[in-house]
């Protein structure tokens, strides 16, 4: 413990890490239950994996921007605590696997030396804020969204209003109308716009993937940038209060929006603005310090061994940049996996010849910005030595895939194994697709869509299939016709057929052969819509037959042993099973947090802690009576119905009126003090009632 105190300068971070270490010990000593501990560690980036006894660590990389010193630090941590492999996710994070739980606080402390955090990388929180990987260099962008993504990430990190929501919450920023941030499938998506000389955003709300994908709706056609944070705070408060908490399947923002409707939702946001400390939050974009390219006077010579390969690579992996004289380089990273030795050499390369920065992309790749055009041959030569000079960046051959059954508890079939095979098929049999950027292929190991399969032109989802004699084989759901249309518009793919996994390559061949023969230059999503789902069903239907499987069909891609369907408990949101005894303790802790925030002058945060205490206390009593506690709003109304209106507990007011003061008054010092006192009074009142009730029952027995 002492080592954390001496190594970490930021006391807030230090407290976080010490708390994680303490909770690990409490969990091991059986002082807290597994579900409660899971919630805490998930919010600190510590995620259980398929293999017992080890953890996956998700490292938060806000909007995908990673400096060279941070890349070296992550490499060092991976070597020390993991196996030297880094995995880029579809949310611009980095994951390392096979980490001992006991060593996670120490690992986190090491990362913080270079301002890298695990906080809120997982759990029921605002997840990593993603952005277009070309932000700041895009030739078509109205302005750089990086300062805005940075400000939003920092504002909501550790913010009391979004620490214990019913489910995770995902936010994206898109630099242009091309919508490379994929706003239409996020809880909140921001697309950069300028109106009358004012910077702002088109705002999308309520999108999502998973088993029931939902297209986001337009919350605002244009929102000035200084309203971005207050509006998001309002959205989070509404989601926290009215969002489902019991059923994970219904707990995402998309279901809440569907239930109450867009207009009613907007009204709730407007009403909530009274409770928000800052009605506008101006973001000083000029104060944001972007990376700057190094000055290079002499251009080193580079020897190109294969000029044709170099020219093909340039045609697919060079990205135009708005800064004159510079380009960006796209690195195709197979399955998002690379090793620490390459990471260190890459860090050295960008320090010496670029801007000491890389960008992680939503397609699990790497972008190097600020490369002088004259240095492109040198970069190709050096990247070739690292195995990073494969052509086809962001083209059809560049397949996105989640880890699937490699490490994930929820994986049903291998996504990485089939991805490798499909890339081999395209490269060998369809080399023309090395240049095709209009065909996107994505693979997920289960319905949760971490590989984003249901927004791809061609998607595959890991499943299993049962034969007539009850044998189980790995399978793939084939989905077709999804795509990003731009400016917040998109199409989700149709589920067409389910085929044994070993027939996945044949399904892809048939789809591509048909497309080649009949599309007549149309883009895939257009051709699919015009041709129709039934046409492709008939094209692929015979591949669904499971009466003629061979022994090979029962072995998944990348595996040697016969397939065994084994699904664990998912941790994508970490549902907490609260015990009544611990809820009262948590209520007391939240009041203490409120008092601390009050002393520091953070009145809005203090009020929200007090609000959480009130809800927790009411929830404890309802659980004791076996009542449903699906939403905060439901808890509030039920407490009134079961305890206040029946005069079981006297408050001299309704519980609704007591707690909903939160959105009736501005968060000033006087109201904050009173609200904290109210929460303390309520906790004591309820605890006393509970104790007397228990005493009465025991006496009666």
- Which tokens in the block code for residue 341? 């030795």
> What pLDDT score was predicted for residue 628?
84
> What pLDDT score was predicted for residue 52?
83
Which of 365-374, 571-580, 619-628, 652-661 has the weakest average pLDDT? Answer: 571-580
Chain CA centroid to CA 673, Å: 36
Average pLDDT over residues 38-61: 90
Which of 47-51, 271-275, 369-373, 614-618 has the weakest average pLDDT? Answer: 47-51
The domain segmentation of the chain, as residue ranges, is 2-112, 137-287, 307-385, 400-554, 580-700
Mean pLDDT of the chain: 91
Which of 153-162, 246-255, 258-267, 337-346 has the weakest average pLDDT? Answer: 246-255
- Helix (H) or strand (E) segment spanning residue 476: strand 472-480
Cα separation, 358 vs 291, in Å, equals 10
CATH class of residue range 580-700? mainly alpha
Coil, strand or helix: which one is 408?
Answer: coil
Read off the pLDDT band of 594 (50, 70, 90).
Answer: very high
Coil, strand or helix: which one is 417?
Answer: helix
> What pLDDT score was predicted for residue 698?
35
446-480 pLDDT per residue, tens? 888 889 999 999 999 999 999 888 888 899 999 99
CATH class of residue range 400-554? alpha beta
Give phi and psi for 391, each to the nearest 5.
-75, 165
CATH of domain 2-112: 3.90.480.20
275-328 pLDDT per residue, tens? 999 899 999 999 999 899 999 988 999 989 999 999 999 999 999 999 999 999
Q: Which among 48, 76, 49, 73 has a CA at the least distance from the CA of 61?
A: 73
Average pLDDT over residues 580-601: 90
- Which tokens in the block code for residue 664? 């009736």
- Tell me the residue length of the chain: 701
> What pLDDT score was predicted for residue 700?
38
Read off the pLDDT band of 578 (50, 70, 90).
Answer: very low
| Residue whose entry in the numeric block shows the structure tokens 């091991």 | 28
Are residues 20 and 44 in contact, defined by beta-carbon separation less than 8 angstroms?
Answer: yes
> What pLDDT score was predicted for residue 570?
53
Average pLDDT over residues 602-620: 95
DSSP string, 322-338: SSTTEEEEEE--GGGEE
- pLDDT at 699 exceeding the cut of 50: no
The topology under which CATH files domain 307-385 is Alpha-Beta Plaits (3.30.70)
Are residues 239 and 165 in contact, defined by beta-carbon separation less than 8 angstroms?
Answer: yes
Q: Say what the alpha-carbon torsion angle 383, 389, 395, 397 is, to the nearest 10 degrees.
A: -130
How many C-beta atoms lie closer than 10 Å to residue 307's C-beta?
A: 8
Residues of the chain with pLDDT > 90: what percent? 77
Give phi and psi for 463, each to the nearest 5.
-145, -170
> What pLDDT score was predicted for residue 582?
73
Chain CA centroid to CA 117, Å: 15
Q: In the sheet that 326-331 helps form, which strands lie side by side, from edge to edge?
A: 65-67, 357-360, 366-372, 326-331, 318-320
Task: Say if residue 601 is exposed, middle or buried (CB neighbours under 10 Å; 0-12, 13-18, 19+).
Answer: exposed
The topology under which CATH files domain 137-287 is Sulfite Reductase Hemoprotein; domain 1 (3.30.413)
> What pLDDT score was predicted for residue 410?
77
> What pLDDT score was predicted for residue 579?
58
Give the helix, strand, coil percentages of the chain, each rounded to 5: 45, 15, 35
Most confident by average pLDDT, 19-28, 83-92, 554-563 = 83-92
Coil, strand or helix: which one is 653?
Answer: coil
pTM of the model: 0.91
Cα 584–Cα 586–Cα 587 angle in degrees, nearest 5: 65
- pLDDT at 568 exceeding the cut of 60: no
Average pLDDT over residues 628-651: 94
> What pLDDT score was predicted for residue 389?
96
Average pLDDT over residues 420-429: 93
Coil, strand or helix: which one is 59?
Answer: strand
> What pLDDT score was predicted for residue 622?
92
Read off the pLDDT band of 7 (50, 70, 90).
Answer: low
- pLDDT at 3 exceeding the cut of 80: no
- Helix (H) or strand (E) segment spanning residue 41: helix 34-42
Domains 137-287 and 400-554 share a fold: yes
CB within 8 Å of 76: residues ≥ 6 apart? 110, 340
């Amino acid at each position: 413990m002492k080592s954390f105190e001496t190594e970490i300068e930021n006391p807030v971070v230090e407290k976080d890490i010490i708390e994680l270490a303490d909770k690990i010990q409490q969990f091991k000593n059986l002082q807290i239950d597994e579900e409660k501990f899971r919630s805490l560690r998930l919010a600190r980036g510590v995620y259980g994996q398929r293999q017992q006894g080890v953890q996956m660590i998700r490292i938060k990389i806000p909007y995908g921007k990673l400096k060279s010193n941070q890349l070296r630090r992550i490499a060092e941590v991976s070597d020390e605590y993991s196996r030297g492999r880094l995995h880029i996710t579809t949310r611009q994070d980095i994951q390392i696997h096979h980490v001992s739980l006991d060593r996670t606080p120490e690992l986190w402390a090491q990362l913080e030396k270079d301002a890298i955090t695990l906080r809120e990388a997982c759990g029921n929180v605002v997840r990593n804020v993603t952005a277009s990987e070309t932000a700041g260099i895009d030739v078509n962008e109205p302005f750089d969204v990086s300062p805005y993504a940075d400000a939003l990430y920092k504002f909501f990190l550790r913010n009391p209003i979004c620490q214990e929501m019913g489910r995770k919450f995902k936010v994206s920023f898109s630099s242009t109308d091309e919508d490379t941030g994929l706003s239409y499938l996020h809880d909140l998506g921001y697309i950069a716009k300028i109106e009358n000389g004012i910077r702002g955003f088109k705002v999308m709300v309520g999108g999502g993937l998973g088993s029931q994908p939902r297209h986001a709706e337009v919350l605002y056609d244009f929102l000035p940038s200084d309203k971005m944070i207050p509006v998001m705070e309002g959205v989070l408060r509404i989601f926290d209060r009215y969002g489902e908490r019991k059923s994970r399947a219904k707990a995402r923002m998309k279901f809440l929006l569907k239930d109450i409707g867009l207009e009613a939702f907007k009204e709730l946001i407007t009403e909530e603005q009274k409770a928000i400390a800052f009605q506008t939050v101006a973001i000083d974009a000029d104060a944001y310090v972007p990376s700057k390219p190094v000055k290079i006077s002499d251009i080193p010579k580079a020897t190109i061994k294969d000029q044709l390969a170099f020219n093909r690579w340039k045609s697919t992996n060079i990205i135009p940049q708005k800064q004159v004289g510079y380009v960006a380089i796209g690195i195709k990273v197979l399955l998002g996996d690379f090793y620490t030795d390459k990471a260190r050499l890459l860090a050295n390369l960008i320090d010496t010849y670029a801007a000491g920065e890389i960008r992680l992309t939503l397609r699990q790749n790497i972008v190097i910005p600020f490369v002088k055009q004259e240095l492109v041959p040198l970069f190709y030569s050096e990247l070739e030595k690292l195995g990073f000079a494969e052509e086809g960046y962001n083209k059809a051959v560049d397949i996105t895939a989640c880890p699937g059954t490699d490490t994930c508890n929820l994986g049903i079939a291998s996504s990485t194994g089939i991805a490798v095979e499909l890339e081999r098929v395209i490269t060998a049999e369809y080399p023309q697709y090395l240049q095709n950027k209009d065909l996107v292929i994505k693979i997920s190991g289960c319905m949760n869509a971490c590989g984003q399969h249901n927004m791809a032109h061609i998607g595959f989802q890991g499943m299993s299939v049962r034969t007539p004699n009850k044998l189980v084989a790995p399978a793939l759901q084939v989905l077709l016709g999804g795509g990003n249309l731009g400016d917040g518009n998109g199409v989700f793919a149709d589920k067409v057929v389910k085929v044994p996994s070993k027939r996945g390559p044949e399904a892809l061949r048939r789809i591509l052969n048909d497309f080649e023969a009949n599309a007549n230059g149309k883009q895939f999503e257009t051709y699919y819509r015009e041709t129709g789902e039934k046409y492709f069903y008939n094209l692929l239907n015979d591949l669904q037959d499971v009466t003629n499987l061979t022994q090979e069909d029962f072995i998944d891609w990348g595996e040697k042993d016969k397939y065994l369907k084994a699904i664990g408990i998912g941790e994508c949101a970490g549902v907490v099973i609260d015990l009544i005894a611990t809820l009262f303790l948590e209520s007391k802790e939240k009041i203490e947090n409120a008092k601390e925030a009050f002393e520091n002058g953070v009145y809005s945060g203090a009020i929200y802690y007090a609000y959480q205490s009130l809800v927790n206390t009411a929830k404890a009593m309802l659980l004791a009576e076996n009542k449903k506690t699906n939403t905060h709003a439901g808890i509030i109304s039920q407490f009134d119905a079961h305890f206040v209106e029946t005069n079981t507990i006297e408050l001299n007011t309704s519980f609704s009126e007591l707690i909903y003061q939160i959105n009736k008054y501005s968060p000033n010092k006087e109201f904050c003090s009173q609200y904290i006192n109210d929460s303390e009074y309520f906790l004591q009142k309820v605890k006393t009632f509970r104790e007397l009730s228990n005493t009465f029952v025991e006496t009666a027995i």
